[in-house]
């Protein structure tokens, strides 16, 4: 039997629109089954029936990527705490362009199963519906920002911008800079910035030599200011968006 969790205790921002009395009642009422995921490739088909026509999975803790590939080219989004997922829905099933989507868990992850029973309990608190809609729209906004980043012609610029975007969500400010504790491999980064892995490795070395990015284990350290509109040509790496497989 899977454990249960109080979703609004795990993610109190969801009930920010409720008054104190409703917040206490909603926190008590809105419980959900919890699933724990280990690092590696993940297929949600085995648990899709548990959701039915419910809301989906809510990430409580952890980190994972959703990767989409077509015609040898790949892109990805990075997902974590607070994100809503419906991973059993296959983009390729409704697309005239062949798409192959896959999920990979990067760190031990916990998700809450927001099934029909949870949705029925949450329906007593209309403010929660708006909060869940906001989470879905947040993913769309983040994807649009990522699209703007990967249109930068230089991979070093893409990576520099990406890490500052990640810092907005996962970074902590220290005296010497901003630290981002995320287990991101060069392969994962290549998907996130739509570049080949060797080019990403070269660009990361360039950023390190310039003193703006440093890695210590799973911690990435950002120094200086966020990137501006452009970098001098002699600091550029010439690489167009491409698949990450090599």
Under 8 Å between Cβ of 69 and 181: no
DSSP string, 129-175: HHHHHHHHHHHHHHHHHHHHHHTSSBHHHHHHHHHHHHHHHHEEEET
Per-residue pLDDT band at 95 (split at 50, 70, 90): low
Mean pLDDT on 96-101: 77
Domain presence at residue 242: no
Q: Which residue is it, tokens 């910035």?
A: 193
Mean pLDDT on 77-96: 80
Number of structural domains in the chain: 2
Residue 39 shares a structural domain with residue 65: yes
**10 Å Cβ neighbour count for 10?**
19
Whether pTM exceeds 0.95: no
Q: How many residues does the chain have?
A: 246
Mean pLDDT on 206-229: 92
Q: Among 114, 149, 184, which residue terminates a domain?
A: 149
Domain presence at residue 240: no
Provide CB contacts within 8 A for 157, sequence distance 6+: 227, 230, 231, 236
Domain presence at residue 100: yes
Share of the chain above pLDDT 90, in %: 74
Res. 203: pLDDT tops 60? yes
Residue 100 shares a structural domain with residue 186: no
| Domain that residue 156 falls in | 151-235
Residue 35 shares a structural domain with residue 95: yes
Residue 130 shares a structural domain with residue 42: yes
Per-residue pLDDT band at 122 (split at 50, 70, 90): very high
Q: What span, in angstroms and rounded, lies between the C-alpha atoms of 23 and 31?
A: 13
Residue 145 shares a structural domain with residue 155: no
């Amino acid at each position: 039997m899977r454990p249960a969790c109080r979703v609004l205790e795990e993610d109190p921002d969801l009930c920010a629109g409720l008054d104190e009395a409703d917040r206490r009642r909603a926190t008590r009422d809105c419980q959900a089954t919890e699933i724990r995921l280990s690092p590696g490739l993940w297929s949600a088909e085995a648990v899709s029936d548990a959701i039915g026509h419910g809301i989906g999975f809510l990430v409580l803790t952890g980190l994972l990527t959703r990767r989409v590939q077509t015609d040898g080219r790949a892109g990805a989004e990075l997902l974590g705490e607070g994100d809503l997922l419906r991973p059993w829905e296959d983009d390729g099933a409704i697309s005239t362009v062949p798409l192959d989507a896959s999920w990979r868990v990067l760190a031990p992850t916990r998700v809450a199963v927001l099934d029909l029973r949870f949705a029925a309990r949450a329906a007593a608190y209309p403010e929660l519906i708006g909060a869940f809609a906001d989470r879905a729209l947040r993913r769309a906004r983040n994807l649009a920002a990522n699209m703007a980043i990967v249109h930068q012609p230089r991979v070093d610029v893409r990576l520099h911008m990406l890490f500052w975007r990640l810092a907005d969500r996962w970074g902590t400010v220290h005296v010497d800079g901003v630290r981002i504790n995320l287990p991101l491999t060069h392969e994962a980064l290549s998907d996130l910035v739509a570049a080949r892995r060797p080019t990403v490795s070269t660009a990361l070395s360039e950023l390190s030599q310039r003193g703006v990015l440093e890695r210590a284990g799973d911690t990435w350290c950002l120094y200086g200011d966020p990137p501006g509109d452009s970098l001098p040509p002699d600091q550029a790496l010439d690489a167009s968006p491409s698949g990450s497989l090599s």
